[in-house]
RNA sequence: GCCCUCGUGGUGAAAUUGGUAGACACAAAGGACUUAAAAUCCUUGCCCUUUUGGGAGUGCCAGUUCGAGUCUGGCCGAGGGCACCA
C-alpha cells in the first residue's frame, strides 16, 4: 500500500497550476463574477500563521466559487511602503527597496507553498512607481476638488529623533525609540477632508448587511454623531469679545449653567498670552500629555479669567469663564457651558473651584425639591427650576423643545456634530509615496505640474539623519520650473492611503494611463468578500470607504460607493507562552514535556519552564510557529486542514502540535480510504438498501457543506469531513456496486477540494478524472427516507425514540406509541390530555 | 464611565435558529494486538442502580411556552472597542 507523499504531490500540482495559469482570471461579461480579497500583507520578511489562516479562509471560499462556475478574481499584492523597511534598512545598512524586494520574493514563495488559488499575474506592490504614480493623480484630483487641504495641527513630536510619532508610538509620554519626553507641537500637515462624508459614511453602514455588527458599531462610535445645538453666550469683561459659541447636546439644562469653560487653544487665549500665570497654566496642561491614558486619569484643572458669561435665558445671571484642560479644541467650538448637576465632568470641576450646583432635572420618582449633591444626575425625568422649561419630559421632549425656543429667540440653532476628524496624511518619513506638491519662494503650495509627474522617490538616500531623510536630498528637493525656483514637499503619505484603493488596482493592474480602468471596475467591483483581521475594523476600512467617495466625488462615471460588499474578520492564532526561571521568553521549540503538565528546557530536565497563558503569536513573546517549517514537516494540506479545524474562523484559535499531527494523520487515513475505494470501482454487486443509505448520507453531507460554507462555519465542515470518513470506512464493509460508490465518492472529493486541494486533485487524477467536477447539487429526493426516528416526549420529557413511517400522521403515531412495549407502559391507563406533533421529528404527549 | 460581543464536559467546540444537548476532534483512563514499546483499533467519561432503568444538567435567579443552550427581564463573570466628544 502506498503512503501518501505530500512532498511530491504538492510540489507537482503547484508547478502544474503555475505553468497552466490555472487561476488566471479575465474580464468576461457573460459570466457571473466573484471578487474574493484578503487584506494584503506587509512584506516584513516571512509569512506568519495569521497570514496562513487569513489566506486559507479566502482560498476555501475562492475555490468553492470557482467550482460553482463563478468568474473568480482572487489577487495578491504587497503593502510595501512603511516604517519597518526604513528601520530595518537603518539597522542592516541596506536600501529599503532592496530589503523590501527581498522580503517579497521570500514571502511570495511561501504563499505559493500553501497552494493558494491566486492570480499572480495581477500582483501589485504599493512601493513601485507603477502603483504610487496613480496615487499621486488621485491626490491631485482630490486637491482640485477641495478634498485636500493644509492646516496647522498638534502632533506628538519626538525632539531627539526630530520626527512625528503616531499615538501608539508614544509610551508613557515618551518616544518609543528615543525615550525622550514627547512634546505637543504645531506642524503644518496635509489633510483629507473625510469629515465631509461623515453623515454618508454613517448612514450607509446600515446597508452593509454582510458586515459583522461589531465592526459596524465600532465605526458608528468612531464617527460619533451627536445631536444638539450651538448657543452664543454674551461675554463681559473684554470689549473685543462680544460672545462665545458653544456646542451642547443638553440645551435643556441651560438654567443649571454655572461656568463657561474654554480650551487653552481657543482663539480667545490670545488675550492672555502676556499673562505669566496663563502661560504656566497652559504648560501644565500640555504636560498632562496627548496620550489618551494620561487624559483619562488626569485631574481637571482650570484657569479663571476676568470674563463673565451671561445666561441667554436670563440675562441677570452671570457666571465666570475658565480655561480648562478637559475642553478639546478640535471638537465643537472648543468651548462648553458647564452644568455641574447633570454632567459628571462639570461636577468634578465645580467641586474643585467651588462653583454653584443647581439642579434642573429630577427623576420621575422624586418631587420638586430633589437636589443633586456630589454625583451628577444624567438620567431621564422632568425639568424643574427652569421657568418656561419646567415640566418637559427628559429627554424625549426637553431637548427638542428647548432648541425650538432657542431658535425662536435667535440665541443659537440646531446642530449636528461628528467626532470624526479629518485624516492627517503627512508623514515625515522617507519610505512612502511622495506628496506631489511643491512650494514657491513665498512658501505657497502648488500642485506638481503634469509634465513633472510622477514624483519619483529618490534612491540611495542617506538614512542616518535626524528627521526626514528626504529633507537632506538637496538635488531632489530643489527644482526649477519655467524659470521659477521651488522646493518639494518632503513629507510622504501615510501608508493607509496606499491600501485605500489597492482593490481597484487589482481590477486593472496593467492600466498605464490611470489608477483603474472604468470597464474593469464596473465589472469586478465591489469586492464580494473581503477577509482580514479585526484590527483594521476602523481605520483601514473607513479610509477605503472614504476614498471611494472622494474618487467618485464630482465624477459621474463612478457608480458604486461601498468598496466591500461582504466583510469577514478572522480571529488570531494563539500559542502558549513560556518563560525560564529568570523570566526570559522561550520559543516553543526550546521547551519539552513528558506529561503535558510540567515543562522543562529541552534536554535539561531540571530547568523548569513557567507556562504562561496562550496569547496571540508575536515575535516579542517568542511564541511563534514558523509556517514554512510546518509545511515542510506536514504539508500544506495538513496545515490548511488544521488551521480551519476546531475553532470557528472569527474566533481566536489555539495552535497545537497535537492538533497539527492529527490533521496530518487524517489525510493519511483519507488516502488509505481512497486506495480502498479505487480498488472497488469495478465491483459488480447490487445492494439497493446500502446504495440508498450511501446516497442519503452523501446528499446530507453536501447539504451540510452548502449550509456551513455560506455561514463561514469552516470548523463544522471539517467535522463533517471526519464523519464522512467514519461513515465510508465502515460502509465499505457492505457489498456495493462500484460505479455507484465512485459516483458518490467523486462528489465528496469535490466538496473537500477547496480545503485540501493538492490531495483532492491527486485523487481525481488517480481515478482518471482530469478536471475537478463542478460543485454537486443536493438531490433532495435522496435525503428523504421511508423511515423516521421520532422523539417521544411525555409531559415535556424525552422518554424514547420510536421508528416510524415518513409523513405519518399524528393519530397513527399515537397508536403506534400506545402499542409500543416500553413507551406503551408509560401511557397505559393514563388519560391523554393533549399532544403536540412536529412532523417527522417529535411528539410531545401530555398525560394525567 | 459609555458601547459591543460572549459564558455549553478536562480542552477546542457542535446543536440548520424554539423540538434528541455535548456532533466532530484534542487530552485522559481502561482494554485488545505486541516479548516490549511505538503505531493502530475498541470502550469509558455527572449522580443513583449489579443490569434493565431513573435523575440532575448549557454562568446565576425569575418569566413566557406543551417544550428554552436558543426568547424576555434582572444579576454575576470574561473579552473587545471608545474614552474629559460637552
ipTM: 0.94
What SS3 class is residue A293?
Answer: helix
Query: Between the CA of A179 and the C1' of B86, what is the distance in angstroms?
Result: 34
Residue A618 Cβ under 7 A from any strand B atom: no
Residue lying closest to nucleotide B20, CA to C1': A791
Q: Which ranges of chain A have pLDDT less than 70?
A: 1-2, 166-174, 176-177, 287-298, 595-597
Backbone angles phi, psi at A48, to 5 degrees: -120, 175
Helix or strand holding residue A71 (H, E): strand A71-73
Closest CA to A450 of A192, A189, A144, A146: A144
| Contact (Cβ atoms closer than 8 angstroms) between residue A670 and residue A726 | no
Q: pLDDT at position A291, please?
A: 40
- What is the dihedral sign for C-alpha A171, A177, A182, A184? negative
Alpha carbon distances (Å) from A136 to A86, A287, A454, A515? 21, 38, 7, 10
Q: pLDDT at position A234, please?
A: 96
| Contact (Cβ atoms closer than 8 angstroms) between residue A691 and residue A661 | no
What SS3 class is residue A417?
Answer: strand
> What is chain A's alpha carbon radius of gyration, rounded to the nearest angstrom?
34
Grid coordinates representing A661 are 499531527
Q: pLDDT at position A313, please?
A: 95
Residue A417 Cβ under 7 A from any strand B atom: yes
Grid coordinates representing A531 are 477577509
- How far apart, in whole angstroms, are the C-alpha atoms of residue A33 and residue A72? 6
- How far apart, in whole angstroms, are the C-alpha atoms of residue A462 and residue A453? 24
What SS3 class is residue A141?
Answer: helix
Residue A638 Cβ under 7 A from any strand B atom: no
Closest nucleotide C1' to the C-alpha of A725 = B24
**Strand B neighbours among A 698-717, CB < 7 A:** 703-704, 707-708, 711, 713, 715-716
Nucleotides of B under 7 A from a protein CB: 3-5, 11-17, 19-21, 23-28, 39-41, 53-56, 66-68, 80-86
Alpha carbon distances (Å) from A783 to A150, A698, A787, A807? 66, 9, 11, 14
Q: pLDDT at position A169, please?
A: 66
Residue A517 Cβ under 7 A from any strand B atom: no
Q: For residue A76, say if its preceding peptide bond is cis, omega within 30 degrees of 0.
A: no
Closest CA to A79 of A51, A52, A39: A39
Amino acid at each position: 500500500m502506498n503512503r501518501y507523499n505530500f512532498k511530491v504531490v504538492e510540489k507537482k500540482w503547484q508547478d502544474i497550476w503555475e505553468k497552466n495559469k490555472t487561476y488566471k482570471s479575465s474580464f468576461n461579461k457573460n459570466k457571473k463574477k466573484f471578487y474574493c480579497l484578503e487584506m494584503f500583507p506587509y512584506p516584513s520578511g516571512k509569512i506568519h500563521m495569521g497570514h496562513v489562516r487569513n489566506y486559507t479562509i479566502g482560498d476555501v471560499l475562492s475555490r468553492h466559487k470557482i467550482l460553482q462556475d463563478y468568474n473568480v478574481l482572487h489577487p495578491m499584492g504587497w503593502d510595501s511602503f512603511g516604517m519597518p523597511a526604513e528601520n530595518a534598512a537603518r539597522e542592516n545598512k541596506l536600501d529599503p527597496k532592496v530589503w523590501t524586494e527581498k522580503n517579497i520574493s521570500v514571502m511570495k514563495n511561501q504563499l505559493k507553498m500553501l497552494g493558494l488559488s491566486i492570480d499572480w499575474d495581477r500582483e501589485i506592490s504599493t512601493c513601485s512607481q507603477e502603483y504610487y504614480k496613480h496615487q499621486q493623480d488621485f491626490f491631485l484630483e482630490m486637491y482640485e476638488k477641495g478634498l485636500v487641504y493644509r492646516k496647522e495641527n498638534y502632533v506628538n513630536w519626538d525632539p531627539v529623533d526630530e520626527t512625528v510619532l503616531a499615538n501608539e508610538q508614544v509610551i508613557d509620554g515618551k518616544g518609543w525609540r528615543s525615550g525622550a519626553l514627547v512634546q505637543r507641537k504645531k506642524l503644518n500637515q496635509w489633510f483629507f477632508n473625510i469629515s465631509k462624508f461623515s453623515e454618508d459614511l454613517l448612514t450607509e453602514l446600515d446597508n452593509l448587511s454582510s458586515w459583522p455588527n461589531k465592526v459596524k458599531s465600532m465605526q458608528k462610535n468612531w464617527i460619533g454623531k451627536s445631536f444638539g445645538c450651538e448657543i452664543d453666550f454674551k461675554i463681559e469683561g473684554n470689549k473685543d469679545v462680544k460672545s462665545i459659541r458653544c456646542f451642547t447636546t443638553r440645551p435643556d439644562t441651560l438654567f443649571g449653567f454655572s461656568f463657561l469653560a474654554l480650551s487653552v487653544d481657543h482663539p480667545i487665549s490670545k488675550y492672555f498670552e502676556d499673562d505669566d500665570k496663563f502661560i504656566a497654566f497652559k504648560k501644565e496642561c500640555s504636560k498632562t500629555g496627548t496620550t489618551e491614558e494620561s487624559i483619562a486619569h488626569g485631574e481637571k484643572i482650570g484657569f479663571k479669567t476676568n470674563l463673565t458669561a451671561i445666561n441667554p435665558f436670563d440675562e441677570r445671571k452671570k457666571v465666570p469663564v475658565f480655561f480648562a484642560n478637559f475642553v478639546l479644541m478640535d471638537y465643537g467650538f472648543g468651548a462648553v457651558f458647564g452644568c455641574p448637576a447633570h454632567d459628571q465632568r462639570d461636577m468634578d470641576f465645580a467641586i474643585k473651584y467651588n462653583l454653584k450646583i443647581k439642579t434642573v432635572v429630577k427623576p420621575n420618582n422624586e418631587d420638586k425639591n430633589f437636589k443633586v449633591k456630589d454625583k451628577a444626575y444624567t438620567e431621564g425625568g422632568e425639568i424643574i427650576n427652569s421657568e418656561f422649561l419646567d415640566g418637559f419630559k427628559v429627554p424625549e421632549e426637553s431637548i427638542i423643545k428647548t432648541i425650538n425656543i432657542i431658535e425662536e429667540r435667535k440665541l443659537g440653532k440646531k446642530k449636528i456634530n461628528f467626532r470624526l476628524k479629518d485624516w492627517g496624511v503627512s508623514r515625515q518619513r522617507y519610505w512612502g509615496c511622495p506628496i506631489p506638491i511643491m512650494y514657491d519662494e513665498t512658501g505657497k503650495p502648488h500642485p506638481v505640474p503634469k509634465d513633472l509627474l510622477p514624483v519619483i522617490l529618490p534612491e540611495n538616500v542617506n538614512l542616518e539623519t535626524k528627521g526626514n531623510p528626504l529633507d537632506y536630498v538637496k538635488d531632489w528637493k530643489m527644482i526649477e520650473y519655467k524659470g521659477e525656483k521651488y522646493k518639494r514637499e518632503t513629507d510622504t503619505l501615510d501608508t493607509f492611503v496606499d491600501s485605500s484603493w489597492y482593490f481597484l488596482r487589482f481590477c486593472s493592474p496593467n492600466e498605464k494611463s490611470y489608477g483603474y480602468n472604468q470597464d474593469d471596475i464596473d465589472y469586478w467591483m465591489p469586492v464580494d468578500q473581503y477577509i482580514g483581521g479585526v484590527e483594521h475594523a476602523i481605520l483601514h476600512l473607513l479610509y477605503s470607504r472614504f476614498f471611494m467617495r472622494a474618487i467618485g466625488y464630482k465624477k459621474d462615471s463612478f457608480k458604486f460607493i461601498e468598496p466591500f460588499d461582504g466583510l469577514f474578520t478572522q480571529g488570531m492564532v494563539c500559542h502558549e507562552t513560556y518563560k525560564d526561571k529568570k523570566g526570559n521568553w522561550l520559543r516553543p521549540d526550546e521547551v519539552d514535556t513528558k506529561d503535558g503538565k510540567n515543562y522543562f528546557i529541552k534536554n535539561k530536565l531540571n530547568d523548569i519552564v513557567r507556562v504562561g497563558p496562550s496569547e496571540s503569536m508575536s515575535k516579542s513573546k517568542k511564541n511563534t510557529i514558523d509556517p514554512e517549517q510546518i509545511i515542510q514537516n506536514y504539508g500544506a494540506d495538513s496545515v490548511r486542514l488544521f488551521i480551519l479545524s476546531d475553532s470557528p474562523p472569527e474566533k481566536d484559535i489555539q495552535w497545537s502540535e497535537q492538533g497539527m499531527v492529527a490533521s496530518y494523520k487524517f489525510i493519511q487515513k483519507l488516502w488509505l480510504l481512497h486506495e480502498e475505494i479505487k480498488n472497488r470501482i469495478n465491483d459488480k454487486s447490487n445492494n439497493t438498501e446500502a446504495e440508498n443509505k450511501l446516497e442519503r448520507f452523501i446528499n446530507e453531507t453536501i447539504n451540510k457543506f452548502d449550509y456551513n460554507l455560506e455561514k463561514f462555519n469552516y470548523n463544522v465542515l471539517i467535522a463533517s469531513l471526519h464523519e464522512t470518513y467514519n461513515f465510508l470506512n465502515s460502509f465499505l464493509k457492505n457489498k456495493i456496486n462500484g460505479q455507484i460508490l465512485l459516483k458518490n465518492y467523486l462528489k465528496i472529493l469535490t466538496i473537500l477540494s477547496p480545503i485540501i486541494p493538492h490531495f483532492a486533485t491527486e485523487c481525481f487524477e488517480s481515478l482518471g478524472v482530469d478536471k475537478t467536477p463542478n460543485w454537486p447539487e443536493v438531490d433532495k429526493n435522496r435525503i428523504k427516507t421511508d423511515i423516521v426516528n421520532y422523539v417521544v416526549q411525555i409531559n415535556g420529557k424525552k422518554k424514547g425514540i420510536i421508528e416510524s413511517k415518513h409523513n405519518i400522521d399524528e393519530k397513527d403515531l399515537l397508536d403506534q406509541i400506545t402499542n409500543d412495549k416500553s413507551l406503551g407502559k408509560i401511557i397505559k391507563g393514563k388519560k391523554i390530555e393533549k399532544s403536540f406533533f412536529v412532523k417527522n421529528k417529535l411528539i410531545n404527549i401530555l398525560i394525567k
